[in-house]
Homo-oligomer: A and B are copies of this chain.
């Protein structure tokens, strides 16, 4: 007799099933889904593609707080009663995204314990991701953070082992993901190219060898 040992992957795919009845929207790359400050009463669920969440603050430049892929939620903060979007959601690539009305979701998690479990599982893994991201931001150099962002973007299309074409974000957007300036991004990208870690023929191609950067200690030219 198996006891339930944890909330986990056996419910992870729950929201990709057809049981939700929400509508599905298709977007091109780099398209706005919602904007910070708009009224918020729906959640979104990524069926295909990728999304970035950007947060503006008063005095500071804007920052990309999350890079999301297939099976990730966003806009979920409206469940906690925030009436307005806390960030701006923009697609990274062509995406298909399911919308779920907040009320429908609340009803689901009240009446369907599988749905509740799935939501909790997602939120827990989301918390873990953010924690890792914070640890990364506190300890890594800008170069390493850029490497991580590129590898993350590459894995949104995950398959090939050696190298991957990725959605082509502008240096400005990369700067907001990494927390640095555009010239700095340009500088690092050139260096990555010279070292053969990325390639630039039409699209951008990220090699797995870029992982070397992550292991590099903080010094040296």
Contact = CB atoms under 8 A, between A and B. Distances in A.
Interface stretch (A58-66, A158-166, A197-205): A58-66
B8 A80 contact: yes
Given A66-B131, A116-B120, A119-B120, A137 B140 contact: no
Nearest to A55: B135
A86 interface: yes
A215 B59 contact: yes
A217 interface: yes
A103 B3 contact: yes
A23 interface: no
A102 B130 CA distance: 22
Nearest to A116: B116
A33 to B, nearest CB: 16
A184 interface: no
A190 interface: no
A195 to B, nearest CB: 19
A29 B6 CA distance: 32
Classify chain A's interface size. 35 or more
Interface string A71-114: 00000111111100011000000000000001100100110010
A24 interface: no
Contacts of A123: 120, 123-124, 126-127
Nearest to A131: B65
Contacts of A4: 106, 110
A16 interface: no
Contacts of A78: 6
A212 interface: no
Nearest to A124: B80
Contacts of A117: 109
Given A124-B77, A127-B76, A127-B130, A63 B139 contact: yes
A26 interface: no
